[in-house]
Amino acid sequence: MSKGIFIGLSSLLLFLVLTGCEPVRTSKPTEESGSLLPAGGYGDQAHMNSKRDALVAFIQGRLTGPDGIYTNLKDTGQSAEMATGHEVLSESSGFMLRYYALTGQRDMYDGMWARTKQIFDLPSGFSYRYSPLLSKKYPVNAAVDDLRIIRSLYEAGQVFQDDTYTSEAKTYGQRFYEHNVKDGLLYDFYDNTYHITNDSITLCYIDLKTLKLLPIADKPKAAFISNMLGISKKGYLGDNFPFYETRYEYQKAAYSSERINTVESLLTILSLAEIRQHEPSSIRFIKDQVKAGTLYGQYTKEGKPTTDIRSTAIYAITAMIGAELGDRSLYEDSIRRMNEFQVLDSGNMLHGGFGDTGSGQAYSFDNLMALLAYAY
């Protein structure tokens, strides 16, 4: 039975602010090599193909509807403040696009990309959320989700060796820069109705590797990357608890965090690791906690756990960090921990997926993070 952070990360953070098989890669490209692919390439080597196939079958067969991947297998009235039920998220499309690119599935990628544009495209970005029941497209994007989609296009261009994808990445990257970046600073969202952003940045939205790919002139890009890298790195809580603050408020020039959500800090660490700007203390802490099975969902700023809940997504992200850094032991330890939550019971409707067998709930974020981890 999976206990987890079961709601889509983008919808949670946004409203906090608003209120085939992967080919085995024998080399380990570094950032300097120009490769966009994860450095490890451990997914197939970990002998997890049967588990990945079962998860793919669950996602495609049970968790997907005509408009995309459900936020939750159990439907709702789709009118809550945060996305629920069979609402679909651009977050989910981005995960699947990256998965199809990394595993070389061009036809699947093209189909998902066409649907993503049809369902989520706005003049200023990709709507973070669509309700099929209410036929409602929310007029707000989430920076982290747009960046994930843009990265997938760059990855597709590299994997499929077709500049068409890269050209689209540049087009959407330019649009993103025009709306979500002001005066060299990244903002969480852009509201297409009111033509405004918020006044802060959530640190785990700072996808530095993708920001470096945006089609910006050299001088403003250098300043922009320097600004966002500085905000990420200065949010470090310290060697005693080597996680990161939640957000940075521009007007106050200050960080703010109620509690430290592990998924958020891990995504910040992953972003820093991708450009080799991570803190070694963070990796040591993660490795120790993963090995012990004690990496919990939330902490105080002093590092005291506020819950004993672990989650699929937590271990999926630590696996990605391991793959990025070429740390096979961290990758494999993380995947083993993650697999503890997979439902493998052919008689259960959640078979192959990650969810709660008691309630029948299975959330997109956990399942798609796991799927992407298998492809790293």
Whether the pLDDT of residue 19 is over 50: the answer is no
Helix (H, G, I), strand (E, B) or coil at 50: helix
Q: Give residue 35's pLDDT.
A: 79
Question: Can you tell me the mean pLDDT for 28-33?
Answer: 38
CATH number assigned to the domain covering 9-374: 1.50.10.10
Mean pLDDT of all residues belonging to the chain: 91
Q: Give residue 26's pLDDT.
A: 28
Please list the residues that pair with 186 across neighbouring strands.
181
Q: State the alpha helices, DSSP H only, in the chain.
A: 9-18, 49-61, 90-102, 106-120, 143-159, 163-180, 208-211, 218-234, 262-274, 280-292, 312-324, 328-339, 364-374
Q: Give residue 45's pLDDT.
A: 74
- pTM for the predicted model, two decimal places: 0.91
Helix (H, G, I), strand (E, B) or coil at 188: coil
Q: In this structure, what token pair is assigned to residue 319?
A: 């696996």
At 108-154, the pLDDT tens digits run 999 999 999 999 999 999 999 999 999 999 999 999 999 999 999 99
Whether the pLDDT of residue 29 is over 70: the answer is no
